[in-house]
Amino acid sequence: MRPTDIMRGSPPPPEAQVTKANWRTYPAIRWGFTHARELLPTAAIRRAAQPSPLVEAQRELTGLTFTTPEGQPTTIAETLQATDADALIVMHRGVILTEWYGEGMSETTPHMLCSVSKSICGTLGGVLSARGLIDPSDKVTNYLPELAGTAYDGCTVRHLLDMQVGIRFEEDYDDPNGDVARYRHSSGWDVAPPGVPSGDQRGFLTTLRPSGKPHGKLFHYVSPNTDVCGWVYERACGAPYAKILSDYLWRPMGAAEDASITLDSMGAGRFAGGISATARDLARFGEMIRCRGLVQGRQIVPGAWIDDIHDAGDRQAWVDGDLAFVFPKGNYRSNWYTVDARRRDLAAVGIHGQWIYVDVASDTVIVKLATQGQAMDIAQDHRWLAGFRAITAHLA
């Protein structure tokens, strides 16, 4: 069955129905990732009353050829088809040159972002810090005393943003009985097995324990860290995360469409991976990052925060961490990856194929959304990175 046959009919036949039991598996994932609001409780992240304009000067870039890391010749068009891509936007110096959508997608279709949501959270932190609402150097327990005695006791907000918490948690997406499975049960993303209580996300966070390693020394990728970070924002601002994000980032940057975030049984958001948004609004977001936080002459995110993302990543913590093989020349800061520290190119990356690539050197922003059947596919990520580099070289 093709993804485009899913949820067809009134009602769809059983084999074509999408439920919480299958919404992130192929072929249901295409429908699931573009209809999260129909599957899970969500909160709206409100758009701007006047969207920031997007300038278009369409050019055919999908025919560009490049060589995969395995040495095979290919094109952008072939890669779109081979990697279950749903959307591609290439923006150069603020102008959209290429905008492509797969079947069932359009410029107004919201798409699940997975861990691109983390980079949005990290960027929002810069706004809140500049307004004096949070201090990245503060201890997490200053905001959330209920986390005393957990893995988060003694760590700072900066440790959350940089994934440098000494926590016992394995980010294994394929283990049905592992930490991620229990985390997803608590977040309301998966149905817990019979006899296993699903609980709630914040209850789950209080169960996490330290690894015995010090905070601030080692990059260790743990999605719940970002959920704790969003919880800090809520406590500091006295408002739900969706409203904070809308008021301080989404509306000010000129988003054209409402985004949304999934909620657990107690109304807590999945800040680490639960945002859905359109490709065009992600292009606006990426362009704001490229322009040091500026949108139409207005400073939305402090330029110094963007500079810090580029320049202050802890290279040694990254090298000693658990994802250095993905970007061997990179680092990580405020929930953004630096792909190559010498080039200073940034990436927001989510499982199943979500990307925002920001290359200041060539004035380029690329958004790519997908519904890959495999959660983490490094070969496809590296193929796309080669494609991004071919695009930036062509534009430069």
What is the DSSP annotation of 249-278? IITTTT-SS-EEEEB-TTS-B-TTT-EEE-
Condensed to tens digits (0 to 9), the pLDDT of residues 198-239 reads 899 999 999 999 999 999 999 999 999 999 999 999 999 999
Out of 2.60.40.10, 3.40.710.10, 3.40.50.10860, 3.40.50.1860, select the CATH number for domain 35-395.
3.40.710.10
CA distance 212 to 119: 27
Q: What is the pLDDT of residues 60-114, one digit of tens each?
A: 999 999 999 999 999 999 999 999 999 999 999 999 999 999 998 999 999 999 9
Which residue among the candidates 10, 52, 106, 115 is catalytic per the annotation?
A: 115
Residue 4 has pLDDT above 80, yes or no: no
Distance CA 304, CA 260 (A): 28
> Whole-angstrom Cα distance, residue 174 to residue 291?
38
Tell whether pTM > 0.75.
yes
Please give the single-letter amino acid code of residue 314. D
Phi-psi region of 152 (alpha: psi -120 to 50; beta: other; left: phi over 0): alpha
Token output for 224:
């719940």
Phi, psi of 368 (to 5 degrees): -135, 125
How far apart CA 144 and CA 230 sit, in angstroms, is: 11
Give the number of residues written for the chain: 396
Over 90: is that where the pLDDT of 196 sits?
no
Tell me if 286 sits within 8 A of 356, measured CB to CB.
Answer: yes
Mean pLDDT of the chain: 97
Q: Where are the alpha helices (DSSP H) in 221-323?
A: 224-237, 241-245, 279-290, 303-311, 315-319
| Count of other CB atoms within 10 angstroms of residue 270 | 27
The yes-or-no answer on residue 246 being catalytic is no
Please list, in sequence order, all residues whose beta carbon lies within 8 angstroms of the beta carbon of residue 110, skipping any fewer than 6 positions away: 34, 36, 37, 257, 259, 260, 276, 277, 278
Range 182-208 average pLDDT? 94
d(CA 392, CA 92): 9
Euclidean distance between CA atoms 295 and 288, whole angstroms: 6
Ranges of CATH 3.40.710.10 domains, the chain: 35-395
Estimate to the nearest angstrom the gap between the alpha carbon of 146 and the chain centroid: 27
> To which residue do tokens 């975030």 refer?
261
Q: What is the pLDDT of residues 353-376, one digit of tens each?
A: 999 999 999 999 999 999 999 999
